[in-house]
Amino acid sequence: MVGNATCDDRQHKRPQGGWGPAGDRRTPGPAGGESTPRASRRIWAGPPGTPRHMALCQRNNCHRVQSSLGWPAVDLAHPGVRFHIQQESDIPASTQLYNQICFAIAARHYPPGHRLPSTRQLAMQTGLHRNTISKVYRQLETDGVVEAMAGSGIYVRDQQKPRELKPPPGLRSKAMPDIDREVRQSVDGLLNAGCTLQQARELLTREIDWRLRCGARVLVSTPREDIGASMLIAEELTPSLEVPVEVVPMEELESVLESSSKGTVVTSRYFLQPVEAIAQRHGVRAVPVDLNDFRHELDLLKELRQGSCVGLVSISPGILRAAEVILHSMRGNELLVMTANPDIGSRLLALLRASSHVLCDRPSLPLVEQTLRQNRAQLMRLPVVHCAQSYLGTATIDQLRKEIGLLAG
């Protein structure tokens, strides 16, 4: 997630068959493969990022670029994603990696259907044992974030797999001049599948009615302990949707859908699995929204000098927990991190007194500014306040509008 260095470690790469002894004597190497004569023997540097690896890189001049924080990075299948693990941290390495992968998926660095790096690739980049990485992948699969395909790899779960039927036809437009042909092809497809015309009519009518029900309202749902995440999502959806947007704690979603099953349930990918299970029992669609990648905020944090105190303020406890872990994975103990919910005045004031930089979400900004004004005399210096302008990704609202029939495809 940080750094942009690459290491041409062919100078000290471990051969697949392992190392062999010297001379003409050939015996199996430690990995059970064919041995190598001493004349062609190479030295394995260990996992990237370790002192031995970096020392050999310096000796062989194989680092072409050095990251701004001095951390080596390895190119993965998705070149924009870097993971970094603080080995000396009190936070378990598996927790650090889990949170970073979740954020990469939630921010759509890894879109639905994308193949994640192999355990071998991540082991090379992070220095973690492959068993630890496998454990993280199993937890992600249990949580419904990814799915494992035998013999192929680990993929971001595609909760929005395309349906077989075309969406209901709308007005003619330049973007779709052959809409009559699209309708005919849809009907022909049903007939070729063995349906009668009457059955095709019933299927299409059922699909249209279902989509109309989905567009009746939007229910934003997350667990009650992190209802702030729902409030952030609803705040950004409301001005863009011409339908009612309601915040419903996940614990109350079942009873709300029992009274009326019209609408679409929206949630964060962090909570999709339990929300989706409730929605499916009532024939309602659950749609995950993608988060902002917070690239500007992360770049700002990378540039802070060592020893700075950073304050994170949000109405979502889940965001604070995830941000704290990700920031620690980026900078380790170089920064002091404090978090606060804006509604807890004493904790917010303590944060503002200690922090040189404060990052907050939009709902928290008025309370942050008010607390600064009211306690100006008690503050030795005013912190630099940065407000994240959006919680959701730029394209996710338009995608949701398409899903509920408010925007032409």
Higher pLDDT, 47 or 289: 289
Q: What is the pLDDT of residue 179?
A: 76
Nearest one of 103, 100, 137, 101 to 119, comparing CA atoms: 137
Helix orientation angle between 317-331 and 227-237, rounded to the nearest 10 degrees:
100
Helix (H, G, I), strand (E, B) or coil at 155: strand
pLDDT at 341: 93
Using the predicted structure, report yes or no on whether residue 158 has a pLDDT greater than 60.
yes
At 184 the pLDDT is 85
Domains 215-291+395-403 and 295-388 share a fold: yes
So what's the pLDDT on residue 1?
39
Q: How far apart are CA 54 and CA 312, in angstroms?
A: 33
According to the model, what pLDDT value does residue 204 have?
Answer: 84
Q: What is the Cα–Cα distance from 409 to 406, expressed in whole angstroms?
A: 9
**How far is 106 from 90, CA to CA, in rounded Å?**
25
How many Cα atoms are found within 13 Å in the side-chain-facing hemisphere of 342? Answer: 20
Of 20, 406, 368, nearest to 212 (Cα)? Answer: 406
List of residues 6+ apart from 221 with CB closer than 8 A: 230, 247, 248, 249, 250, 253, 265, 266, 267, 271, 275
For 179-188, 259-268, 276-285, which range has the lowest pLDDT when averaged over its residues?
A: 179-188
Greater confidence, 179 or 323? 323
- Considering only 53-67, 94-108, 288-302, 377-391, which range has the smallest mean pLDDT? 53-67
Residue 345 to residue 333: CA distance in whole angstroms: 27
Q: Assign 3-class secondary structure to 291-304.
A: ECCCHHHHHHHHHC
Query: What pTM, to 2 d.p., does this model score?
Result: 0.62
Mean pLDDT of 54-60: 42
Which DSSP letter does residue 383 get? P
Supply the pLDDT for residue 407.
55
CATH fold of 82-158 reads: Arc Repressor Mutant, subunit A (1.10.10)
Structure tokens at 301: 């944090």
> Is domain 215-291+395-403 annotated with CATH 3.40.50.10490?
yes
CATH number of the domain located at residue range(s) 295-388 in this protein: 3.40.50.2300
Q: Compute the distance between CA of residue 355 and CA of residue 374 in angstroms, rounded to an integer.
A: 17
Alpha-carbon span 401 to 289, nearest angstrom: 11
Which pair of tokens denotes residue 218?
């939007």
Say if residues 338 and 351 touch (Cβ distance below 8 Å).
yes
**Domain limits, the chain:** 1-18+30-73, 82-158, 180-212, 215-291+395-403, 295-388
DSSP letters along 246-311, please? EE--HHHHHHHHHH---SEEEEEGGGHHHHHHHHHHTT-EEEEEPBP--HHHHHHHHHSPTT-EEE
The rounded Cα 385 to chain-centroid distance in angstroms is 25
Q: What is the pLDDT of residue 159?
A: 63
Q: pLDDT band for 152, please (50, 70, 90 cuts).
A: confident
Sequence-ordered list of residues with C-beta below 8 angstroms from that of 21, at least 6 positions apart, any chain: 27, 35, 38
The model's pLDDT over 74-102, given as tens digits with 9 standing for 90+, comes to 333 344 578 889 888 888 999 999 999 99
Q: Which of 35-39, 168-172, 216-220, 286-290 has the lowest mean pLDDT?
A: 35-39
Q: How confident is the model at residue 63 (pLDDT cuts 50, 70, 90)?
A: very low
